[in-house]
A and B are shown apart, each in its own frame.
Chain A
Amino acid sequence: AQSVTQLGSHVSVSEGALVLLRCNYSSSVPPYLFWYVQYPNQGLQLLLKYTSAATLVKGINGFEAEFKKSETSFHLTKPSAHMSDAAEYFCAVTLNTNAGKSTFGDGTTLTVKP
């Protein structure tokens, strides 16, 4: 079985500041990991995914995440926050290539202050 814990249900940063959203996973086998963004009243959009290749994964909109097996973490970062980054972010894990059977965390709401 697998699980995901997102530390911090709400994160607030100033525009231009570093964004750091935390995700820790639990998995009995090497996982595939994903970050999604959800804007109000919309579905989920894939930001990036880790599928056992490079541990530092670059995604869309300037986001990146680093897979750290020793820490069982997959934290999402962005060097400089934009107002348009305000949304809810979800980390997800799956045990194989079938991303359609993912286990999601409870999400982190990112607020960006002007």
Chain B
Amino acid sequence: ETGVTQSPTHLIKTRGQQVTLRCSSQSGHNTVSWYQQALGQGPQFIFQYYREEENGRGNFPPRFSGLQFPNYSSELNVNALELDDSALYLCASNPTVGGGYTFGSGTRLTVV
């Protein structure tokens, strides 16, 4: 299997709800990073997981959390959704922490 697959592609949630976004990485990709890309801006680093452990976090509150699984899939969970959480969420994976990352096409989250 090649590429990074994210699901769903689009999602609409109500303020205060919780959401789970999913990412399926290539086999052997032990590192996954999640980014938030607001409209008209560049991606902002949320956090990174390496071998199922968090390996660094950007300037995001604790209501943003993640999981990485042994089958190279991962999740981004966001609790207590706010309107400003509306964005494109990207995951990117790599076999190691160095080198080039492969990005998925993203999940477009709209909070109303």
Pair B97/A98 contact, Cβ less than 8 Å = yes
Pair B4/A43 contact, Cβ less than 8 Å = yes
A-B contact pairs, 27 of them (CB 8 A): A42-B105, A43-B4, A43-B92, A43-B103, A43-B106, A44-B90, A46-B100, A49-B100, A90-B42, A90-B43, A97-B97, A98-B48, A100-B31, A100-B33, A100-B45, A100-B48, A100-B97, A101-B33, A101-B56, A102-B45, A104-B35, A104-B43, A104-B44, A105-B42, A106-B40, A107-B41, A107-B42
Contacts A42-B106, A97-B97, A98-B98 supplied; 6 other A-B pairs, CB < 8 Å = A41-B105, A43-B106, A100-B94, A104-B43, A104-B44, A106-B40
What total of chain B residues lie within 8 Å of the partner, measured CB to CB?
Answer: 26
What total of chain A residues lie within 8 Å of the partner, measured CB to CB?
Answer: 22
List residues of A whose CB falls within 8 A of some B CB: 4, 36, 41-46, 49, 90, 92, 97-107
Q: Separation in Å of the B97 CB from the closest CB of chain A?
A: 5
Instruction: Please give, as numbers and ranges, the residues of chain B lying within 8 Å of A90 by CB-CB distance.
Output: 42-43
